[in-house]
Amino acid sequence: MQVTIVYDNEVLRDELISGWGFSALIQGEGIPTMLFDTGGDSFTLLHNMAELGIDSEKLEVVVISHPHSDHTGGLSEILRRNPSTELYVTKSFREKGVGGKITVVDKATEICKDIFSTGELSGMEQSLVLRSDYGVFVLTGCSHPGPARILSAASKFGKLYGIAGGFGHHDPKQFRSFPALSLIYPCHCSAYKREMIKMFPDKVVECGVGLRINL
């Protein structure tokens, strides 16, 4: 399984474009091609996907972590290009004019083989749980429920291995859950990157558009 960051505040290659928001592509043998969040706008998202050799018209599943514009900005164009895609959203999702097959996620849900939603946590956000040979890897949107709450929910699917995504502005003490992890990728709205590097210098890895994580 491979995770590719396609929208983020930072870029790892000059030809890619940064933006305020987050999106990650999940691909692998035996699983549908899946997009987790859609960034803040379709232009940046589609540009980055094209530069990374990703066909934006072959997405089978889209998962929206929470209905904030920096995570849903590219959704309408993605759905226009992929009208039969399956869309997984939380109960707080209220966007109008969205077609296709929609699944409203409340509790922990299996999306496909080895990929699960944590369910809507704290009434606001879901995260993705990817089960690999290394252990459980977590993708977060903004971590509004808090990293500790998210990791606790994810740990029910197996031994924790890594996490990538937005960690928000939570107090660094929240990161005491992280020692169980082998890899930490603070992306998007993570306010305490320097503190995390000091706490876990051998585990924190720079995130940005173009990053590929092999699981």
Q: Which two three-digit tokens encode residue 139?
A: 């993708």
Domain encompassing residue 177:
2-214
What are the tens digits of pLDDT across the range 36-52? 999 999 999 999 999 99
The pLDDT assigned to 170 comes to: 85
The pLDDT assigned to 177 comes to: 81
Number of folded domains that form the chain: 1
Task: Say if CB 63 and CB 36 are below 8 A apart.
Answer: yes
C-alpha closest to that of 39 among 137, 166, 204, 147: 166
Residue partners of 201: CB distance under 8 A and separation at least 6: none
- Which amino acid is present at 13? R
At 154, which CATH number? 3.60.15.10
CA torsion 4-169-195-174 (nearest 10°) is: -100
pLDDT at 94 over 90: no
CA angle 201/204/205 to nearest 5° reads 125
pLDDT, average across residues 171-178: 82
Q: What is the mean pLDDT of the chain?
A: 94
pLDDT at 31 over 70: yes
More confident residue, 177 or 89: 89
What is the pTM (predicted TM-score) of this model? Answer: 0.96
What are the tens digits of pLDDT across the range 16-25? 999 999 999 9
More confident residue, 91 or 95: 91
The secondary structure element, H or E, covering residue 111 is strand 109-112
C-alpha closest to that of 121 among 94, 90, 96, 97: 90
- Which amino acid is present at 98? V
Q: Which two three-digit tokens encode residue 28?
A: 């692998």
CA separation for the pair 83, 77 (Å, rounded): 10
C-alpha closest to that of 119 among 148, 145, 99, 158: 145
- Which amino acid is present at 135? G
CA separation for the pair 165, 71 (Å, rounded): 11
CA separation for the pair 85, 102 (Å, rounded): 9
